Structure 1
Amino acid sequence: MAKIEERLSALGLVLPPQVKPPAGVVLPFQFVRLVGNRALISGHGPQNPDGSLAAPFGKLGREVSLEQGYAAARLTALSILGSLQRALDDLDRVRAWGRVFGMVNSASGFNRQPGVINGFSDLILELYGPDIGAHSRSAVGLAELPFDLPVEIEGEVEIAT
């Protein structure tokens, strides 16, 4: 078993299958696009272990608490890792986490987006360590996200070819 898979297993974490979008929704893009030694990661949201979108839904600072947002960002990390696993066959091919863009569905006045996206960053750093897991990051508030998700995250990693 690969190193990252062992760490996931030790933490009791499971990677979800490809997302099951709501009925009638078409997603005509690749979740991970491999370009040379880079993997470009499309926006992902939090998923349940069965691939469905994970609740709670809504805006941080209104329907969703900071703690729930942090947990949603952590689930989003698992969603992204699941897509990377399917694209790369081995999560240990990730040589460096480069850039992460975290979007938070924010109610008016909510300004704790970095604390929400820390749920993603903390898990990536725990799994990959401070060298490979280190990444640049933005955490921004948006008025709306698809399907009323509380969090959407995209990014880019360097991979071994």
Structure 2
Amino acid sequence: MANHAEERLRQLGISLPEASSPAAKYANYVIVDGLMYVSGKGPSGQPRGKLGVQYTTEQGYEFARLTGIEVLAVLKEGLGSLDKVKRVVKIQGFVNATANFEEHHKVLNGFSDLMLEVFGDQGIHARSVFGAVSLRDQLPVIVDSIFQVEE
């Protein structure tokens, strides 16, 4: 079945930024045996703060969606076309939140919903989400991800 992710992206009115550079000495992605592992990414604009203090669940959802756009930019840079993504395999999200914040899953839905919009049924994935006492640069959300791709 053909993947029409590039067309879906256009229909959604999303233009991808250039892929952000790694924050330290590591690669943006690595491809091994048909799987593309994308390093942890946060939302564009580098917002700083914690869910449950500076940000609401709804704002966290938007940050997770923006993080998804960052990941799509890395995929596009690495593969040349999002149409080479066969499947979204696994998403792991980290939410910078207070100890009593309980809506981590609703925050990460921003990322998951975007993957479904762009990749259709191939966007359905396994996922985990964790609350974090802190994240690099005080980002509200970081997501790392695994994709099955055409090499």
- TM-score, normalised with respect to structure 2: 0.93
Return the offset for 1:10: 1.6
| Counterpart for residue 102 of structure 1 | 93
SS at match of 1:19: coil
Return the offset for 1:108: 2.0
- The letter of the residue matching 1:40 is Y
| Counterpart for residue 3 of structure 1 | 4
| Counterpart for residue 149 of structure 2 | 159
Return the offset for 1:16: 1.6
- TM-score, normalised with respect to structure 1: 0.87
Rate the CA distance shift 1:38–1:20 in 2: closer, same or farther, 3 A: closer
The partner residue of 1:46 within 43, 47, 52 is 43
Structure 1 unaligned runs (5+)? 48-52
Whole-Å separation in 2 of the counterparts to 1:106 and 1:84: 28
Whole-Å separation in 2 of the counterparts to 1:119 and 1:27: 26
Deviations 1:17-57 (A, max 9, x none): 13267xxxx5211111111211011100001xxxxx343x2
Structure 2 unaligned runs (5+)? none
Whole-Å separation in 2 of the counterparts to 1:18 and 1:28: 16
| Counterpart for residue 13 of structure 1 | 14
RMSD of the alignment, in Å?
A: 1.5
Residue 4 of structure 2 contacts residue 119 of structure 2 at CA under 8 Å; is this kept in 1? no
| Counterpart for residue 85 of structure 1 | 76
How many correspondences in the alignment?
Answer: 149
Whole-Å separation in 2 of the counterparts to 1:20 and 1:38: 20
| Counterpart for residue 64 of structure 1 | 55
Residue 94 of structure 2 contacts residue 143 of structure 2 at CA under 8 Å; is this kept in 1? yes
Deviations 1:56-86 (A, max 9, x none): x200001011111000000000000000100
Q: Share of identical aligned residues, percent?
A: 37
